[in-house]
Amino acid sequence: MLYRLIGVGLWLAFFLIVPVKKWRRYYPTLVFTALLGTVADLFGVVYNQWEYIGPTTGGLSLWSDLGLAPPQGGLAVYFHDKYRKLSFYNWLFWIVANSVGEWVFVRWGLIHYHQWSTWKATLFYFPFFALIYLQYRWWLGNDGVQSLLRSS
């Protein structure tokens, strides 16, 4: 139950911190992060790296993929934009926060590791957030997307 509150808190943080006029800028990142989290979890479950304990859909915790991951990706790119000089620390914060969060969820009994560990999770979050960053950069750099944003 507590991890659901964390997800609601992350969404509230996103909606309260990010100005309403900028929400549209971050929609693609929210969707991409949800898809990336779902695909990563699918591989982890199928290859018996971990399993979610509790209500799952096909072994996946959709709450994790849709409730926790998207607002984290959105907040990460928002803070990247807002605090350019501290960008490295911003991304490092999200990597460490996710590793610690996963460790806590294992301790609470919400996730069970099989062939996975907190160390592997930490290493995994580097490319995970790198892909979020690259998707965001691609989205902003695409001329067609830029003109779509300007027209509205």
* Mean pLDDT per 10-residue section of the chain, whose length is 152 residues: 81 96 93 96 92 84 88 97 96 96 92 94 96 92 60 54
Kindly list the distances between the CA atom of residue 113 and the CA atoms of 97, 110, 118, 119, 152, in Å, as whole numbers in the listed order. 18, 10, 9, 12, 46
Q: How far apart are CA 108 and CA 70, in angstroms?
A: 22
Q: How far apart are CA 62 and CA 38, in angstroms?
A: 8
19 in Cβ contact with 91 (< 8 Å): no
Domain residue ranges in the chain: 2-151
Q: How far apart are CA 75 and CA 111, in angstroms?
A: 24
- Burial pattern 112-144, b for ≥16 Cβ within 10 A else e, equals ebeebeeebbbebbeebbeebbebbeebeeeee
Phi and psi dihedrals of 90, rounded to 5? Answer: -60, -50
Q: Which helix (H) or strand (E) holds 33?
A: helix 23-46
Tokens of 15: 């909606």
pLDDT of residue 61: 85
Instruction: Specify the pLDDT at position 144.
Output: 45
